[in-house]
Amino acid sequence: MNKSIGQQTISFESQPKIISSSAIVGPKEGDGPLGEYFDKVLDDSYYQQDTWEKAERKMTKENIDLLLTKAKLSPDKIDYLVGGDLLNQVVTSNFSAVKFPVPYFGIYGACSTLAEGLILGAVLIDGGFGNRVINFTSSHYQSAERQYRTPNEYGDKYPPYKQWTATGAGAMITSRDGSGPVITEATPGQVVDLGIKDPQDMGSAMAPAAADTILQHLEDTGRTPNDYDLIVTGDLGEVGSEILAELLKEKGVDIADSHDDCGLMLYNSDQGVGAGGSGCACSAVVTASYLLPYINNGNFNRIFVVATGSLLSSVTSLQGDSIPCIAHGVVIENNSKSNAVGSIESKVKSEGK
């Protein structure tokens, strides 16, 4: 049976359910407008560890434990782990997976890892290869700065277009059975590179990839932005969101009334985060803690989560290469399908701006 729609979109016959989600965040994220929604807020970014990398690892392991506890499941009831992070060789996810005796796929999609994992997990379930998949990801401001740019101790200036890598861990269980929001479709993205070379300007680099995936999804499905309660990008921030709107308008698509960005939802404007949030955890913790419950409660009927990622490394940046980017899109719907789809704004849209 052909489950493809148009050029790039997948339709999931079994409509995998997201039966559990969990999110742990750092202090700055806890102080933002969504602070009350997270399962746990850390007191400090070291989390009683001697390095930031170990703190991220501890946070990720603990979040998976929390996810299983919320679902009332033991690890032996999970068929696969699908996870990734920002650090070299996805070491956070690798070390975290050691604790759980479950087949594991380590993936790298930079800040698009959440959506990439959800797509792959849904494919495994829809293909009949398993019944339950844990999708998880994480990022940490200090560990990411040390790897991709310069350690904080160097005191580099923070340009206004730079984004703050979110400290946090987000995880979800997708299942063939059970109750919860359902994954109905997905549009995996193509790699797009328009020549941006500044590793601090993630929004400008990633916006074209987001536009490409959104346009392809709308073409494949025959829908318009008004068919979604929310089209939410992962971490374009203020700069990237403005560019995205311009790129789509050039193609006759207006998302002004239906778009929000996790990087803008996660922080208040007075928190010193530049143009907004980024990092694997950005879309993961917002989706896990805020958007999924919002769907479950019937406030949203259908949303399109488009997580974006910059596929660079510190080596390629130092060698002057441009930044290839990607955006993966996942359609998540209310399982009851009892609410009419409209074009409404996110509760926290423009809050604190």
pLDDT for res 351: 39
pLDDT for res 309: 96
Q: Which CATH homologous superfamily contains domain 183-333? A: Stage V sporulation protein AD (3.40.47.40)
Domain extents in the chain: 4-175, 183-333
Domains 4-175 and 183-333 equal at CATH topology level: yes
Torsion angle of the four alpha carbons 72, 74, 75, 81, in this order, in degrees rounded to the nearest 10: -10
**Do 326 and 312 meet the contact criterion of CB atoms below 8 Å apart?**
no
**Do 109 and 162 meet the contact criterion of CB atoms below 8 Å apart?**
no
pLDDT for res 157: 58
What is the spatial distance between Cα 264 and Cα 279, in angstroms, rounded to a whole number? 13
SS (H, E, C) 181-210: CEEEEEECCCCECCCCCCCCCHHHHHHHHH
Q: Which amino acid is at 49?
A: Q
pLDDT for res 173: 98
Q: Which CATH homologous superfamily contains domain 4-175? A: Stage V sporulation protein AD (3.40.47.40)
pLDDT tens digits, 172-195:
999 999 999 999 999 999 999 999
Block mean pLDDT (10 aa), the chain, length 353: 91 97 98 97 95 96 98 98 96 96 97 97 98 97 79 55 91 97 98 90 94 98 97 96 97 96 95 93 98 95 97 88 96 71 35 37
